[in-house]
Amino acid sequence: MEILEEVAASVEKGDSASVKESVRMAISQNISAEEILENGLIKGMESIGKRFKKNEIFIPEVLIATRAMKAGMDIIRPLLAESGYKTKGRIVIGTVKGDLHDIGKNIVSMMLEREGYEIVDLGIDVPKERFVEIIKKENPDIVGMSALLTTTMSYMREVMIAIDEEGLKSRAKIIIGGAPITQSYADEIKADGYAADAPSAVILVKKLLKT
Ligand code: B1M
């Protein structure tokens, strides 16, 4: 099997060890990091996305494949940076303070990464100060907040206020999502956008960044 096909197949199987091995093998064959990303890692995830859409596989398989893709990304990321590879945009994403749910956020991140955006994942339980700090430090194009609890969604408003108070509102587009979130809540807290699911998040980001 050609080595990039092996990278893609290993992502699809969710086999992190095999992804790492085949990515290293591709590098040793002088295949560029861009090619490994586009024709190996992303190709594998595309196939996972299609199978997920057709209900042939479910969330656990998607998450395992995402982890495998990340294992490959970790190896090629420094090479991409060296070669000046331009992503379509930088997206910071996190689940807000008090909330530990991250399955949806991870699927959204995975789909955006697959589309060629750079993801800075802040994880779960993220306080407003961290969102403010990361906008100053990382200059993201988009800041994404996720919340799954009715008790934590109100924290998104606090983050918006903190970003505004620091004069950072114009520095990045703010998008929100999660099961209890609605477009009207996004409008109420003056977020730049809301997405109901991961494919809609991709459409929203493309629209906001004109990419
Ligand atoms: Co929790 N939980 N949970 N839970 N949990 C819910 C959310 C709940 C609806 C269950 C219920 O009661 N029926 C309920 C919330 C009720 C409410 O507030 N209305 C609930 C509760 C109450 C709790 C605890 C309080 C339970 C307790 O301890 N008493 C507790 C809270 C912990 C905390 O966060 N502080 C708790 C804990 C947990 C677990 C840790 C056990 C686990 C989380 C594991 C993890 O995430 N690593 C968990 C889980 C798994 C769930 C359910 C079962 C599944 C959530 C999920 O992953 N869905 C959930 C019930 C349910 O939804 N059936 C439930 C699948 C995922 C793909 O969908 O996250 O909606 P979702 O993401 C979607 C979209 O929302 C959107 O795209 C995603 C992909 O399509 N999206 C975005 C999400 N983020 C986005 C961001 C965007 C754009 C789109 O832009 C930035």
pLDDT, one tens digit per residue, over 3-23 is 999 999 999 999 999 999 999
Domain boundary among 44, 64, 83: 83
CB of 100 within 6 A of ligand 1: the answer is yes
Q: Which of 14, 48, 83 is the last residue of a domain?
A: 83
The pLDDT score that the predictor gives to residue 199 is: 84
Q: Is 150 in the pocket of ligand 1 (CB under 6 A)?
A: yes
Burial class (CB in 10 A: 0-12, 13-18, 19+), 67: middle
User: Both 51 and 140 in a single domain?
Assistant: no
Ligand 1 pocket, residue 107 CB under 6 Å: yes
Strand order in the sheet with 193-194: 118-126, 90-96, 142-146, 173-177, 193-194
Q: Whose CA is nearest to atom 70 of ligand 1?
A: 179
Note whether 94 and 77 are same-domain residues.
no
pLDDT given for residue 139 in this prediction: 94
Identify the pLDDT of residue 59. Answer: 87
Quick one: CA torsion of 153, 159, 164, 165, rounded to 10 degrees?
130
What pLDDT sits at residue 140?
97
Residues 111 and 198 in one domain: yes
What's the pLDDT score for residue 68?
93
Ligand 1 center to residue 192 CA distance, Å?
23
Q: Decide which of 48, 83, 118 is a domain's last residue.
A: 83
DSSP conformational letter for 210: T
Please name which of 111, 115, 1 lies closest in space to residue 65, comparing C-alpha atoms. Answer: 111
Same domain, 36 and 107: no
Q: What local confidence, expressed as pLDDT, does residue 207 receive?
A: 98
Strand duo 90-96 + 173-177: pairing: unpaired
Q: For residue 194, what are the β-bridge partners? A: 176
- Tell me what pLDDT residue 200 has: 93
Instruction: Mark out the alpha helices in 83-172 (DSSP H runs).
Output: 103-114, 128-138, 150-165
Helix (H), strand (E) at residue 94 = strand 90-96
The Cα 147–Cα 145 span in angstroms is 7
Q: With b meaning 16 or more CB within 10 Å and e meaning fewer, what string describes 89-100?
A: bbbbbbbbbbbe
Residues of the chain with pLDDT under 70: 1
Domain co-membership, 100 together with 11: no
**Residue ranges making up the domain that contains 112:** 90-209
Q: Can you give the pLDDT at residue 37?
A: 87
Q: Which atom of ligand 1 is nearest to the CA of 145?
A: 91
Q: Give yes or no for a contact between 120 and 176, defined as CB atoms under 8 angstroms apart.
A: no
Does ligand 1 have an atom closer than 6 angstroms to the CB of 177?
Answer: yes
* 3-state DSSP assignment of residue 3: helix
Beta carbons within 10 angstroms of residue 211's beta carbon: 13
Query: To test ligand 1's pocket by mutation, which of 57, 64, 92, 101 has the most ligand atoms within 8 angstroms of CB?
Result: 101
> What is the CB-side half-sphere exposure of residue 50 using CA atoms within 13 A?
7
Q: Is the CB of 201 inside a 6 Å radius of any atom of ligand 1?
A: yes
Residue with tokens 């779960």: 124
Helix (H) or strand (E) holding 102: none
For ligand 1, pick from 58, 148, 181 the residue to mutate: most ligand atoms within 8 Å of CB: 148
